[in-house]
Amino acid sequence: MRRVLLLGGTSEARDLARALAGHVALTVSLAGRTRAPELDGVATRIGGFGGAEGFARYLDDAGIQAILDATHPFAAAMSRRSAEVAARAGVPYVMLRRPGWQAAEGDDWIRVPDTAQAALIPGPEDRVFLATGRQTLLDFAPMQAAWCWCRQIDPPEEVFPFPKGEFLVGRPPFPETEEIALFQRLGVTLLVVKDAGGAASRSKLDAARALGIRVIMIDRPDLSDLPQVASVPDALAWIEDQLCPSDA
Instruction: Name the residue range of residue 53's domain.
Output: 3-98+222-243
Contact 67, 52 (CB under 8 A): no
Question: Are 20 and 57 within one domain?
Answer: yes
Q: Is residue 104 part of a domain?
A: no
Question: Are 83 and 145 within one domain?
Answer: no
Count the domains in the chain: 2
Q: Is residue 248 part of a domain?
A: no
Look at residue 32 in the predicted model and tell me its pLDDT: 65
Give the model's confidence band at 172: pLDDT under 50 very low, under 70 low, under 90 confident, else very high. Answer: confident
Q: Is residue 142 part of a domain?
A: yes
In CATH, what number is assigned to the domain containing residue 205? Answer: 3.40.50.150
The DSSP-derived string for 94-108 is EEE-PPPP---TT--
Look at residue 40 in the predicted model and tell me its pLDDT: 52
Coil, strand or helix at 18? helix
What's the pLDDT tens digit per position in 42-65?
888 888 898 999 999 999 999 999
Question: Are 68 and 138 within one domain?
Answer: no
Question: Are 208 and 122 within one domain?
Answer: yes
Using the predicted structure, report yes or no on whether residue 180 has a pLDDT greater than 60: yes
43 secondary structure, DSSP code: E
Give 222's contacts (C-beta < 8 A, 6+ positions apart).
none
